[in-house]
């Protein structure tokens, strides 16, 4: 291996959203030098990469994906970093080493960890992980009004931080189902805009209707009750545009619920983009269910005990050392948020949910769930609505309408959606088939290929 050669190829630009406590320059330096305390002192979202000697460090929060691949060349291992798997593959194709690539050899940087990788040759050492997010668990108030006020006030602050970076007069879209999370964002964002002296009608809510779902009627009832019909639109999309295979290609993943959600998101955002070609900023309520553990346990192998004893289960998965941890993907919403991010990128939106910010997650984790629930699954299912409603009223003075919980794709498609339900095995087969088609050309005997031992190949640009 040749020493003194830059072997970090960073194809992922520095990203930030609602960042506070530190600005982007110090974030980059903190990641480069492994300064976890500086990262811990920040809030909001970021993704950053840096190199110090032979050590490469990467860090991200939930809001931005970050992946890497180790390519083999004569000059040593090249660590290639990008937001997407197909970007990593495209770089390998440009270097004529596409034959080395396999999507399952890529790695997703886990959110809330500083990841360190040493570039010291073969065999590649395992990454080292250091947490920079250590929330206090269960030490807050068990009173719903107090817990709700704390949770939603923190959400409101994160939302204000994001709005401060949106250029004045720019319109803002909201993915709106009329459910608890999107309704709370509608009211909080309008309140924040008004407090800033801006026009709250800059925010416009959009509801997807694929036919047969209940969200359109639900959303209409909510905006009518709030007197906000004038800032609401239904985006009606023919059901045949709901394309699961395209969703798998866009999110580069095969978890069925995330695939289904992304397919619905692509329909909604595509419809908004057709109506508003220049609209750029997008809000949503993703992460609200994860924060308050509002998922039906009967749909999974989870128990109430496993959820409560793993406080960040829904945000980070089972953990880096768990048997269920994937080598290719991180866990929980750290993995799943691509269902929101990638469709937004596809249609040119900058998407943000304040419910994914670390301070907001921490405020939710302060709630002593065990004592509040007292072993009741039924209580778990009603808790989120009570907490959010109480918090929104404390912040805005408005008594928020509460609608039944349903998944985005279910609310948009209803009975039609239920006929679309697919298995993880089917999604994974589609994912692998799509990559087999892409890799075919790289493995074609007639395609020019470069050996990792070829000393005549010029160094790639970093």
Share of the chain above pLDDT 90, in %: 77
Say what the pTM is: 0.94
Instruction: Quote the pLDDT of residue 5.
Output: 47
More confident residue, 388 or 211: 388
Q: Is the pLDDT of residue 415 over 80?
A: no
Detail the DSSP E strand segments found in 281-434.
Answer: 281-283, 350-352
* Domain spans of the chain, in order of start: 8-133, 144-427
Report the distance separating Cα 145 and Cα 306, nearest Å: 26
Q: How confident is the model at residue 418 (pLDDT cuts 50, 70, 90)?
A: low
Instruction: Quote the pLDDT of residue 75.
Output: 66
Q: Among the listed ranges 122-126, 150-154, 354-358, 365-369, which one has the minimum average pLDDT value?
A: 122-126
CATH architecture of the domain with range 144-427: 3-Layer(aba) Sandwich (3.40)
pLDDT, the chain, mean: 92
Q: Is the pLDDT of residue 429 over 80?
A: yes
Q: Is the pLDDT of residue 393 over 60?
A: yes
Q: Which of 240, 241, 242, 222 is nearest to 232 (CA)?
A: 222
254-308 tens-digit pLDDT: 999 999 999 999 999 999 999 999 999 999 999 999 999 999 888 788 999 999 9
Rounded average pLDDT over 39-55: 94
Q: Is the pLDDT of residue 407 over 90?
A: no
Backbone dihedral angles phi then psi of residue 50, each to the nearest 5 degrees: -155, 160
Chain centroid, CA 125 distance in Å:
28
Report the distance separating Cα 409 and Cα 307, nearest Å: 24
333-382 tens-digit pLDDT: 999 999 999 999 999 999 999 999 999 999 999 999 999 999 999 999 99
Supply the DSSP string of 75-121, one letter for each residue: TEEEEEEESSHHHHHHHHHHTT-GGG--GGG-EEPPTTEEEEEE---
Rounded average pLDDT over 73-85: 88
Rounded average pLDDT over 197-218: 92
Q: Is the pLDDT of residue 315 over 50?
A: yes
Measured in Å, how far apart are the chain's first and last C-alpha atoms? 17
Report the distance separating Cα 373 and Cα 130, nearest Å: 32
Rounded average pLDDT over 215-227: 94
232-250 tens-digit pLDDT: 999 999 988 999 999 999 9
CATH 3.60.20.10 for domain 8-133: yes
Residue 117 token pair: 């990788």
Q: Is the pLDDT of residue 459 over 70?
A: no
Q: How confident is the model at residue 1 (pLDDT cuts 50, 70, 90)?
A: very low
């Amino acid at each position: 291996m040749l020493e003194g050669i830059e072997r970090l190829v960073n194809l992922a630009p520095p990203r930030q959203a609602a960042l506070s406590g530190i600005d982007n320059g110090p974030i980059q330096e903190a990641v480069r030098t492994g300064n976890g305390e500086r990262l811990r002192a920040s809030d909001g979202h970021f993704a950053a990469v840096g190199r110090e000697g032979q050590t490469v460090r990467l860090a991200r929060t939930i809001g931005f994906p970050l992946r890497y691949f180790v390519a083999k060349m004569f000059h040593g291992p090249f660590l290639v970093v990008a937001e997407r798997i197909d970007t990593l593959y495209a770089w390998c194709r440009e270097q004529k080493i596409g034959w080395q690539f396999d999507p399952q050899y890529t790695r997703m940087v886990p959110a809330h960890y500083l990841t360190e990788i040493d570039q010291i040759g073969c065999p590649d050492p395992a990454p080292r992980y250091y947490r920079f997010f250590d929330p206090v668990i269960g030490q807050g108030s068990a009173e719903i009004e107090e817990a709700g006020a704390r949770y939603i006030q923190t959400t409101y602050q994160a939302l204000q931080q994001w709005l401060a970076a949106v250029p004045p007069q720019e319109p803002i879209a909201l993915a709106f189902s009329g459910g608890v999370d999107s309704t709370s964002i509608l009211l909080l964002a309008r309140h924040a805009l008004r407090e800033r002296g801006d026009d709250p009608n800059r925010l416009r809510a959009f509801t997807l209707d694929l036919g047969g779902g209940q969200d359109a009627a639900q959303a209409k009832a909510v905006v009518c009750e709030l007197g906000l019909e004038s800032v609401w639109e239904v985006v009606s999309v023919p059901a045949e545009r709901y394309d699961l295979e395209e969703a798998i290609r866009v999110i580069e993943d095969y978890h069925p619920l995330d695939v289904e959600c992304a397919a619905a998101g692509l329909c909604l955002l595509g419809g908004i983009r057709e109506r508003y070609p220049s609209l750029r900023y997008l809000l949503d309520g993703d992460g609200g269910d994860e924060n308050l553990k509002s998922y039906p346990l009967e749909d999974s192998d989870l128990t109430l005990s496993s959820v409560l004893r793993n406080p960040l289960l829904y945000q980070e998965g089972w953990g880096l050392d768990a048997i269920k941890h994937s080598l290719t993907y991180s866990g929980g919403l750290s993995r799943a948020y691509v269902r929101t991010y990638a469709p937004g990128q596809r249609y040119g939106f900058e998407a943000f949910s304040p419910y994914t910010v670390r301070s907001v997650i921490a405020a939710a984790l302060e709630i002593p769930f065990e004592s509040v629930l007292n072993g009741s699954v039924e209580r778990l299912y009603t808790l989120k609505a009570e907490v959010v409603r109480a918090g929104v009223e404390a912040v805005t003075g408005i008594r928020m309408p509460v609608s039944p919980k349903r998944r985005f794709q279910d609310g948009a498609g209803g009975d039609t959606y239920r006929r679309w339900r697919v298995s993880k095995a089917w999604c994974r087969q589609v994912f692998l088939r799509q990559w087999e088609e892409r890799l075919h050309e790289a493995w074609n005997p007639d395609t020019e290929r470069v050996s990792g031992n070829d000393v005549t190949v010029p160094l790639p640009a970093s």
